[in-house]
Structure 1
């Protein structure tokens, strides 16, 4: 299938765009979940490495009201350097299958000992980095996700070491994580927190993408792209071709400089006698 792309530059948010794509008829089930880790840049230039180690990851299934271990690195765990996960970089924590449904929490379990590396001008030094309760109850993320079953689900977690690292006199370095889900991508929905200074991209798999340059947003903003379907009553009333619609949120958002919205469609799905109009 050849997919074409329509791109446009916009100053304000576009509320609805028709894609001319009929609803999918495939019954294939895809329940794969991909979990990624990223980190917002650390302000302290002296910090050269932040090494944290995860042992396993659980999710809470609303249907059964049980915690499910979805990633297990063993007792030794898996170590990540958070400073290598900045500037739009991310590393996969794991991929796993889940039953379709809602999962309201994620819990990250960590080893008790971690390392921070600092260059204070006299040389590079490593110090212990303690995470309260990381190895006991784990770190819970409030905010969940839904597995629809009709396509992969991709989640990105932001560790945000910039806000998490604290140095207390007599106690050394402490890490009190403020981990949150900053991006969710499925076949029907995509949401990503865009930092105003950095800009970024939001992708709805195979449907649309929005590119926001640095400085286009006044403040950090969660941008959503949602796929809707035009029902027969609406298409009969408006004369529009039945298919998908792309909705952007938050409604009324103003870009300070132009952003680029691209919508993908399959020209083979456009009936004979009709032509594309933008």
Structure 2
């Protein structure tokens, strides 16, 4: 295992773990869930925003599907604004105590009507100000789902984060040219999550002439050389990465990772967001639940 320094047990206000409630009259077989949204960076350097609009939040639990909150007005969220450990609090509401298996978002988006894509609030925006509607198959009906188990104890509060990772989720749908949001979302129970704050020797990156470097986190021994191959239509490179982060001024953050052992891979991209080469890897990084870890890296430390 690499030598890491633990900074703190709780790394974000979003990491609300189970809390006791002394007022028995308010429990009544109920607890609370705080639902957050976060994201990982997108490869395309021309994209400035990826906006989703949410009508309703539901969860599948002891009594089947339960509405957590239905908003009076749709809530619009630019996913690209919540990266590197930042998270958007979508809702915090009382729910039945018990174990849940998935959360779904009912989106403010419509199906095709007369072969035209009708979209009310979910879209991609480019740096030139132009927009493309974003389509989610069944997003307005059965919802956009994230699977993952979490438990709400009676009288407790549990934080849940939905990680969209639009790098993998937003793809162009074949000959239609429509952009769709694939169901790649991760559900992370915050009390089980950890974070890596990485600090790269910026001089070593500058001297190597890299325009852009992205850090990818893989579960231990799951990376394959084929991850770097030219992707097929609708797919991306490094598709099996758990999460990723752009290295900015030598710093990167890999957040909302479940406890376990991970391998970090670093890839160089050009100014247009095109993959150039794999720089190297830093392997066998072990994370404990709720931990915030710091890594000091340089090119000489990579495999």
With the shorter chain as reference, the TM-score category is: 0.5 to 0.7
CA distance in 1, matches of 2:136, 2:98: 32
Is the counterpart of residue 84 in structure 1 residue 148 in structure 2? no
- Following superposition of structure 1 onto structure 2, how do residues 47-66 of structure 1 map, counting pairs within 5 Å? 47-62=47-62, 64=63, 66=64
| 1:103 maps onto 2:103 in alignment | no
Cα displacement (A) at 1:52: 0.9
Aligned residues: 194
Matches within 5 A, 1:1-278: 11=3, 31-62=31-62, 64=63, 66-74=64-72, 76-112=73-109, 113=119, 114-119=122-127, 123-149=128-154, 151-167=156-172, 168-185=174-191, 190-192=192-194, 196=217, 198-200=252-254, 218=282, 223-225=287-289
- 2:108 & 2:21 partners in 1: Cα distance? 43
8 A Cα contact 1:39 1:161, kept in partner: yes
Tell me the alpha carbon deviations over residues 77-130 of structure 1, each in whole angstroms, 9 at most, x when there is no partner. 2111111112222111100112321111211111222211123xxx33111111
Q: List per-residue Cα deviations over 1:48-82 (Å, max 9, x = no partner).
A: 111111110111122x3x211001114x4211111
**1:162-198 Cα shifts (integer Å, max 9, x gaps):** 111112333322221311113422xxxx324756453
Structure 1 unaligned segments of length 5 or more: list them: 1-9, 15-23, 204-212, 227-247, 249-253, 259-278
Report the TM-score, using the length of structure 2 for normalisation: 0.54
Q: Is the 8 A contact 2:106 2:141 kept in 1?
A: yes
Name the TM-score, length of structure 1 as normaliser.
Answer: 0.58
Are the aligned partners of 2:188 and 2:256 in contact in 1 as well (CA < 8 Å)?
Answer: no
Distance 1:153 1:224, change over 3 A: farther
- Alpha-carbon distance between aligned partners in 2 of 1:174 and 1:26, rounded to the nearest angstrom: 42
Q: Is the 8 A contact 1:109 1:134 kept in 2?
A: yes
RMSD: 3.8
Q: Which has the greater radius of gyration?
A: 1
Report 1 or 2 for greater relative contact order, CA contacts < 8 Å, sequence distance ≥ 6: 1
Q: 1:39 to 1:11 in 2, by over 3 A?
A: same
Contact 2:40-2:83 within 8 A present in 1 as well? yes
CA gap of 1:172–1:147, structure 2 versus 1, over 3 A, is same
Instruction: Show CA shifts across 1:7-46 (max 9, x none).
Output: xxx92699xxxxxxxxx99855672221110111111110
Residues 191 and 222, structure 1, Cα contact 8 Å, conserved in 2? no
